């Protein structure tokens, strides 16, 4: 079975602080994909990044960076110099084959509500 | 602007009404999805269509009836809903369903906020 755990339910920071959102996953598949989505109050889930199980390179995109560590089954997301516009719910998600039964299924974590105060 | 368009954005209906939610994408994607999301919860998968055929039904009650008229359109027909069906309904699309396409992200619409009176 697939499982994604986002232990932080809510995080509150002041603008310009750095913040890290944690994501831990479980899967028996050797090939799998991890995603981060952002959901602002408007409702749309915005795709942020994808990482496959064979690529452990960290990635940086502007103020966003991601740290993927297979040894700890973690895929953490850091926002540097946070801004009020970063306030949203962030979901980590896993896509795996699960023996051919899970095509098209994303397993989501419970989400982390990030509030950035001015 | 989102590339997946959902209408209406808000819908209020009584338990005896019949209504439909609509979703459209023009990215050439061959997989389309319906999700239900309650407040402060992650999206829950309801249905998946692949090449206009129903591929996954997550044991959704029959009062929800999906339809995929063509590769760009996805509808969700609603009838005799219950108050607990009030939620945000999200549509998504992706390139396709296959082992080779699991890495492709799903693209979501803004959703329809549904309230059942």
Query: Which residues from A are below 8 Å from B when comparing CB atoms?
Result: 31-33, 35, 37, 42-47, 50, 52, 91, 95-97, 103-106, 108-111, 113
Sign of the alpha-carbon dihedral angle for A22, A28, A34, A40: negative
pLDDT digits (tens, 9 = 90+) for B80-116: 999 999 999 999 999 887 666 667 889 999 999 999 9
| Nearest-neighbour CA in chain B from A5: distance (Å) | 12
> For an interface test with A, which of B41, B42, B53 has the most A Cβ atoms less than 10 Å from its Cβ?
B42
The DSSP-derived string for B14-68 is -TT-EEEEEEEE-S--SEEEEEEE-TTS--EEEEEEETTEEEEE-S--TTEEEEE
Whole-number Å distance between alpha carbons of A61 and A46: 15
Whole-number Å distance between alpha carbons of A67 and A57: 8
CB contact under 8 A, B110 and A42: yes
> A63 Cβ partners below 8 Å, 6+ apart?
A79, A80, A81, A82, A83
* DSSP three-state, residue B84: helix
CB contact under 8 A, B56 and A105: yes
Q: How many other CB atoms are found less than 10 A from the CB of residue A18? A: 12
* DSSP three-state, residue A85: helix
Contact in structure between A50 and A73 (CB atoms under 8 Å): no
* Token representation of residue A35: 């995603």
pLDDT tens across the length of chain A (118 residues): 789 999 999 999 999 999 999 999 999 888 889 999 999 988 899 999 988 888 888 888 899 999 999 999 999 999 999 999 999 999 999 988 765 555 668 899 999 999 999 9
Residue B113 in contact with partner chain A when CB distance is under 8 A:
yes
Whole-number Å distance between alpha carbons of B66 and B35: 11
Q: Which residue of B has its CA nearest to A34?
A: B103
pLDDT digits (tens, 9 = 90+) for B40-71: 899 999 999 999 999 889 999 999 999 999 98
The pLDDT of residue B1 is above 60: no
């Amino acid at each position: 079975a697939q499982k994604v755990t986002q232990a932080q339910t809510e995080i509150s920071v002041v603008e310009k602080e750095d913040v890290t959102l944690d994501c831990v996953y479980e899967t028996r598949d050797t090939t799998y994909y991890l995603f981060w989505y952002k959901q602002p109050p408007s409702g749309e889930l915005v795709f942020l990044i994808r990482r496959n199980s064979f690529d452990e390179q960290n990635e940086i995109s502007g103020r966003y960076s991601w740290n993927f560590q297979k040894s700890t089954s973690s895929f953490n997301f850091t926002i540097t110099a946070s801004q009020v516009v970063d306030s949203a719910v962030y979901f980590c998600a896993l896509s795996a084959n699960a023996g051919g039964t899970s095509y098209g299924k994303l397993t989501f974590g419970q989400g982390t509500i990030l509030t950035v105060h001015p | 602007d989102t590339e997946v368009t959902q209408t209406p954005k808000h819908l209020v209906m009584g338990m005896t009404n019949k209504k439909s939610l609509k979703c459209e994408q023009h990215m050439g994607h061959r997989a389309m999805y319906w999700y239900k999301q309650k407040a402060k919860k992650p999206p829950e998968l309801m249905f998946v269509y692949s090449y206009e055929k129903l591929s996954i039904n997550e044991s959704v009650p029959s009062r929800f009836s999906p339809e995929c008229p063509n590769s760009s359109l996805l509808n969700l027909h609603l009838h005799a809903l219950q108050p607990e069906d009030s939620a945000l309904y999200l549509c998504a699309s992706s390139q396709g369903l296959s082992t080779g396409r699991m890495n492709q992200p799903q693209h979501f619409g803004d959703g329809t906020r549904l309230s059942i009176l």
